[in-house]
Structure 1
Amino acid sequence: MTMILESSETFLSIKKWKEQIPGLAAIFSTRNGGSSREGFSSLNTGLHVQDEPFNVITNRNIVGANAKAPLEEWVCAEQIHGSYIKEVDRTYKGRGSTNYQDSIKGSDGLWTCESNVYLSLCFADCVPLYFVEPNSRFIGLAHAGWKGTVQNIAGKMIQKASESGVDASRIQVYIGPSIGKCCYEVDETVADQVKHCLNREDHSSLTKKTNGKYNLDLKMLNKQLLEDSGLKKEQITLASNCTSCEEDLFFSHRRDFGKTGRMSAVIGWRE
């Protein structure tokens, strides 16, 4: 497993980045150690899932404090399962952190090169994509469900970085915990879009089932799209976690039939 549980029960961190990139906070919260109840038990960080807002803000503060990424410096996006990516700076600090209506509208990706700006998105099966290039201080975060994935939000983040002068050959990407191929079944319509989004004939992310549907490996598909955008395999690391299988650690939209909490991905530079 390429992510390890930190000293707090509330989040996982990217071990390789923690060891090799000083000053970078890059974490993924668990479902444990919070104040929410029932289906949101206990560390729900999603403000849009009908949980009590006070509990969610309390939970976000717990994550922020334990990760040394203060909530007042988070920037959050609306997340509409699209592929629009927004550049943010210090003037955006706090957007969406305590009020979902104040989130960056229409966006599923955020990037910055500034310190003390913590990019944050919510997840409960979709793929979190973390990006970093230490020399330029470029960091990015993207939310890739199947729709955002086939719209190539992964490749679009690399394009944004390149357009801003970042050397793409130095970018590192972490593909975080999401629903695994073991648990993610899709229909022919989705499978067709998967096949058409790649610049290759390799559709190994799909496995056809006897019922005519497919199991889809979203993490692998995003890896292939990143490679199609010019990244080498050694620039990309995949989490082995399945959010649906690991009920003790993660919320899962599919496993929990839609009534569940959200984990938060957070990345930022500590000044």
Structure 2
Amino acid sequence: MDWERKMPYYTFSRFNVTGMVVHSFTTRYGGVSKKPYDTLNMAFHVGDEPRSVLANRSLACERLGIEQGDLVAGRQAHGDRVAVVTAADRGRGAFEEETALPGTDALITNVPGLTLAGFYADCASLLLLDPVRRVAALAHAGWRGTALRIGQKTLRQMSVSFGTDPRDCLAGIAPSIGPCCYEVGDRVIDDFKKTFSNWRVLAAGTAPGKWRLDLWEANRRVLLDAGLRPENIAVAGLCTACHSDVFFSYRAHGGVTGRMAAFLMLRE
């Protein structure tokens, strides 16, 4: 990933070299929110002052050279609903939570200038780009979404709606909680056993009923199973819990914290 120093954010080099998109994964730096959301909290639903969230989004959009009114967001529900968004959806969730697409964890578009937005604090963000058909997608993959293979379902919808061939696609797995810190119980692993025949390579037992889960590798394998080429999948490999001074982390901060944003926009 590449690091921008002024209001720092991360990008994927493979996405940058296409020249087709504006994209970013923000940090907790550069905003106006007060503790425990300090300072660049990008989400309304966490308890922060709405005016602070609006100011933070405005600052981030200005930094990226995009319009806040062009954002489209879903009300993330830790599910596997995928929505294809059009120009008619422009601005949904941009200025208030209530207008975001309900129960939606993945967004797809082929509309230039429409910015897909998702919000994260340990869950994985999957950025997808079909440079041949000029289609972009953004998915929210916590453990539930990963177990439901939301990345694969997003690519399938890209194929159905726009003729995407996964072999053409680029993917980025943004910073999220790593296998070093993500301890889960048997209930979570039981769900992975249902959808991952190779689940043992994704989870390391640490004690009876306790496991360390690798969301990065799980989502990488989901994308491989969907047909992506291994060399086209970039994994940031940055743990949000280990680096809670840089990122918001639900686990590290005891459940009360802000959210980073992932943005992905096709250029005109």
TM-score under structure 1 normalisation?
Answer: 0.96
Give runs of aligned pairs for residues 258-269 of structure 1, distance below 5 A: 258-269=255-266
Q: Which residue of 2 aligns with 1:176?
A: 174
Give the equivalent residue in structure 1 for 2:148. 151
Q: Does 1:186 align with 2:168?
A: no
Measured after TM superposition, the shift of residue 167 of structure 1 is 1.8
In the TM superposition, what whole-angstrom CA distance separates every residue of 1:148-181 from its partner, at most 9, and x where no partner exists? Answer: 1111101001101111211221011111100000
Q: 2:209 aligns with which of 205, 208, 212?
A: 212
- Other-structure match for 1:5: 3
1:166 aligns to what?
164
Q: Which range moved further: 240-249 or 74-83?
A: 240-249
Matching of residues 53-132 of structure 1 within 5 Å:
53-132=50-129
Structure 1 consecutive aligned stretches of length 4 or more whose deviation exceeds 6 Å: none
SS in 2 for 1:39: coil
Using the TM superposition, name which of 124-133 and 245-254 deviates more. 245-254
How far apart are residue 68 of structure 1 and its match?
1.4
User: Which residue number in structure 1 is paired with residue 241 of structure 2?
Assistant: 244
Once the two structures are overlaid, the 10-residue window that deviates more, 65-74 or 173-182, is: 65-74
SS at match of 1:38: coil
CA displacement, residues 113-139 of structure 1 (integer Å, 9 cap, x when unaligned):
110000001000000000001121110
Aligned amino acid, residue 80 of structure 1: A
Q: Secondary structure at the match of 2:113?
A: coil
Matched, 1:39 2:36: yes
Q: Give distance in 2, aligned partners of 1:202 and 1:254.
A: 23
Task: For 2:110 and 2:184, locate their aligned partners in 1 and report how far apart those are by CA, in whole Å.
Answer: 37
Number of residue pairs aligned between Structure 1 and Structure 2: 267
State how far apart, in whole Å, the 2-side matches of 1:6 and 1:162 are: 33
Q: Which amino acid aligns with 1:136?
A: R
Amino acid at match of 1:189: R
Q: Which amino acid in 2 is paired with 1:167? A: D
Q: CA deviation at 1:211?
A: 4.0
1:226 CA displacement? 1.4
Q: 2:189 is matched by which residue type in structure 1?
A: A
AA partner of residue 51 (structure 1)? D
Q: CA offsets per residue over residues 82-131 of structure 1, 9 Å max, x none?
A: 00000001111110011000000110000001100000010000000000
Range 134-143 or range 230-239, more displaced: 230-239
Query: Pairwise CA RMSD of aligned residues?
Result: 1.1
Task: Tell me the distance in 1 between the aligned counterparts of 2:194 and 2:28.
Answer: 35
For the 8 Å contact 2:119–2:259, the answer to whether it is kept is: yes
SS in 1 for 2:154: helix
Alignment partner, residue 231 of structure 1:
228
Gaps (5+ residues) in structure 1?
Answer: none
Q: Kindly state the Cα deviation for residue 7 of structure 1 after the two structures are TM-superposed.
A: 3.8
2:7 counterpart SS class:
coil
Q: 1: CA distance between counterparts of 2:44 and 2:222?
A: 30
CA distance in 2, matches of 1:202, 1:256: 28
Distance 1:75 1:211 in 2: 43
CA distance in 2, matches of 1:46, 1:209: 33
